[in-house]
């Protein structure tokens, strides 16, 4: 019989997606007011039902000298899509295959190569399988977050990242929505800088509020729901946006 996913299961899935390595069953048990044994049993049931399918490591291959990560958008004949997806996984260097419910570009394949020649070899192997490569590109970054509706109601859910752009050098521009409960909300930009909540290399270059575009100044107050355009002279650290409401 299919396993019925309840609120306890949802909370387990939320925290494992957030940080499986550092999630203790006792912490989830305390929050859900059950025993740690119950949480362990639920995890086992979720695994047995293939709802919880694994705990993949998040590896930044491009930080290893010479390695590059590519994404291939491929088209497989619909009757052969599932078979070709599994065959692609057997190619050395392919790390992820996603099947999409569409007629064209219905397989998204992520591959890691030691150099561009290795990527060319992988592309050739994919073509030899009978896949048509529609597009390919270098993956510069990949970001993950758990499914918010499965999490606690009192946890900030943002900010909602709506756009991201790499500029010349290592500069970046991000656009996001300030979440309810954000530490920086109701502060002026000047206060946020003075209190060290925004790094020196960060600059608020745009604010959209209720359909109006504001010109940011030192005395401008950041409010919940503001859509912020933020410029950074260098790469943003993983937790750089926490003060705007990230988890």
CA–CA dist 73, 178 (Å, integer): 33
Look up residue 202 and give its two tokens. 């960060």
- 235 pLDDT band, cuts 50/70/90, is confident
Q: Which residues of 167-187 are buried (b: 16+ CB within 10 A; e: fewer)?
A: eeeeebbbbbbbbeebebbeb
pLDDT at 243: 83
Q: Smallest Cα–Cα separation from 88: which of 101, 102, 103, 70?
A: 70
Q: What is the dihedral of CA 180, 183, 184, 187, to 10 degrees?
A: 100
- 247 pLDDT band, cuts 50/70/90, is very low
CB distance 244 to 179 below 8 Å: yes
pLDDT tens-digit series, residues 161-195 = 544 455 555 678 788 888 888 888 899 999 988 88
For residue 64, CA distances in Å to 67, 68, 113, 154 come to 6, 9, 11, 38
Start-end of H helices in the chain: 7-19, 25-32, 36-48, 81-89, 116-129, 189-194
CA–CA dist 191, 220 (Å, integer): 10
DSSP secondary structure of 134-157:
EEEEE---------GGGS-TTS--
Q: Which residues of 190-214 are buried (b: 16+ CB within 10 A; e: fewer)?
A: ebbbeeebbeeebbbebbeeeeeee
Tell me what the pLDDT averaged over the chain comes to: 86
Mean pLDDT of 56-82: 91
- 95 pLDDT band, cuts 50/70/90, is very high
For residue 24, CA distances in Å to 12, 16, 39, 132, 217 come to 10, 9, 10, 45, 44
Percent of the chain predicted with pLDDT > 90:
49
Q: Which domains does the chain have, with CATH numbers?
A: 7-48 (1.10.10), 61-138 (3.30.70.920), 156-244 (3.30.70.1450)
């Amino acid at each position: 019989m299919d396993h019925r996913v309840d609120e306890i299961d949802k909370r387990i899935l939320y925290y494992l997606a957030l940080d499986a390595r550092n999630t203790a069953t006792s912490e989830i048990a305390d929050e859900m007011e059950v025993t740690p044994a119950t949480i362990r049993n639920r995890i086992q049931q979720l695994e047995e039902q293939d709802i919880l399918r694994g705990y993949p490591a998040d590896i930044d291959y491009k930080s290893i000298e010479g390695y590059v990560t590519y994404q291939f958008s491929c088209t497989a004949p619909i009757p052969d899509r599932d078979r070709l997806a599994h065959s692609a996984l057997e190619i050395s260097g392919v790390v992820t295959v996603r099947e999409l419910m569409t007629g064209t570009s219905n397989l998204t394949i992520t591959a890691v190569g030691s150099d561009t020649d290795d990527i060319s070899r992988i592309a050739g192997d994919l073509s030899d399988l009978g896949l048509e490569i529609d597009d390919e590109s270098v993956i510069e970054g990949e970001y993950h977050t758990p499914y918010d509706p499965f999490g606690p109601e009192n946890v900030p859910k943002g900010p909602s990242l709506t756009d991201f752009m790499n500029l010349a050098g290592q500069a970046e521009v991000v656009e996001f929505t300030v979440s309810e409960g954000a530490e920086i909300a109701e502060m002026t930009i000047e206060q946020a800088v003075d209190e060290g909540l925004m790094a020196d290399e960060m600059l608020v270059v745009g604010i959209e509020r209720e359909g109006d575009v504001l010109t940011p100044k030192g005395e401008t107050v950041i409010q919940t729901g503001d859509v912020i355009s933020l410029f950074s002279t260098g790469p943003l650290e993983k937790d750089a946006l926490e003060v705007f409401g990230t988890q």
